[in-house]
């Protein structure tokens, strides 16, 4: 998924959905990291993409807590 599409998807989500998505992405990152470490997966770039998605979600969550608009 492209960065802009990803941001639009996350910005359209409610806080509850963002928390759920954050949990899902963190779980996926853990699984991919374990697979890469075990040598079962060669797609190292997927780990950094997941990290960036986690950072995007955390940024949106913290900005909503601080009352900052999502830039829409």
pLDDT tens per residue, the chain (72 residues)?
A: 578 888 899 999 999 999 999 999 999 999 999 999 898 888 889 999 999 999 999 999 998 777 766 555
pTM above 0.95, yes or no: no
Q: Please report the pLDDT score of residue 69 as a whole number.
A: 61
Contact yes or no for 57/22 (Cβ under 8 A): yes
Q: Which long-range contacts (CB under 8 A, 24 or more apart) does 59-62 make?
A: 60/10, 60/11, 60/18, 61/15, 61/18, 61/19, 61/22
Q: Please report the pLDDT score of residue 49 as a whole number.
A: 93
């Amino acid at each position: 998924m492209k960065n802009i599409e990803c941001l639009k998807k996350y910005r359209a989500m409610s806080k509850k959905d963002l928390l759920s998505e954050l949990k899902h992405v963190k779980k996926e990152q853990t699984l991919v990291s374990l697979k890469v470490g075990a040598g079962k997966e060669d797609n190292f770039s997927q780990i950094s993409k997941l990290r960036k998605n986690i950072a995007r979600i955390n940024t949106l969550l913290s900005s909503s807590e601080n009352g900052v608009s999502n830039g829409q």
